[in-house]
Structure 1
Amino acid sequence: MTTSVNLWLPEYKIILMTSDTQWGTYDTDEKLISTECARKIYYGNSWAMAVNGSSGFDVQKLYKSLGYVPSGRHSKKFEQTIQMAIKNERFEEINRLNMDASRRGEEMRDMHSFILAVNRPEMGLYEVDEFGNVKPAKSTNDIPIKHII
């Protein structure tokens, strides 16, 4: 189970992403068996992605295959992949990540989805579902800001 809070205030040009820092392992009755520390938000100069799902190993492989470098020197390939995914409304690599997990027998509830924030070419917040579909994040305009903070 992942807890993440994502707040977009376009009038202030601010996107805030937060997340818990552990992966949980559950038995078939959905009882927590164990936990491990995890990084669930990855970022570059013009983007940040928060992951939801069951484990981090596949996610780390995904970021590495796209050219993510933890030292902060991120490849242009990664940023180009993100821009192309937004333009095409499809993140094929995430679809492939979950397709491979499904073929290994993982449950749908364990598949990975993402929240993607970008500031180039313009600021935006997107949801990337388990099938790699990229959609603008749902608005929470009806919730007063004092209740979110």
Structure 2
Amino acid sequence: MISVAGNVKAVEVGEVGLYRSVVTRAIMDLFGSLSLTSQQDEARAARDDALSFLTAETGGWAQSRNTICEICDIEPSILRSRVVAILEGQDPPDEARQSVLTNLDAARDLWTKRKRILTAHRPQGNVRQRSSRTGVPNRRNAKERRSGIGTLSCD
């Protein structure tokens, strides 16, 4: 097995070995050349899935990573933080760069695009503040007015 640090480890057998190979494959799919895929679309999908699996903070990908890492005795938050650090520009260990992390630029480009998309879809500012600025009452303000509580607010 190859760790994020690039160390080659002894081949493991059984369930732990199987799940460690899933983590290894995700690292190789994200940072490697994806020579096992026959088409460009498959390579793109594999890299995208690997990025989601290794970096998601919440949701199904994060839950899967956490479960698999638990079985493998890998700390999922450390795995994620190391992968993100490399995606953000930190140099990987030399042995990893030479053996596994052969396509860093493609992984970093995908990470940058993913962050841009996530940032664009995040709500800007506080919804309550926005609605009060535009004069459109939100549910909380309407409820406060009905109960008389809102008449003493500083809004």
Between Structure 1 and Structure 2, which shows a larger proportion of helix residues?
A: 2
Between Structure 1 and Structure 2, which shows a larger proportion of strand residues?
A: 1
Same fold (TM over 0.5): no
Question: Which range, TM-score by smaller chain?
Answer: under 0.3
Q: Whose RCO is larger (CA < 8 A, sep 6+)? A: 2
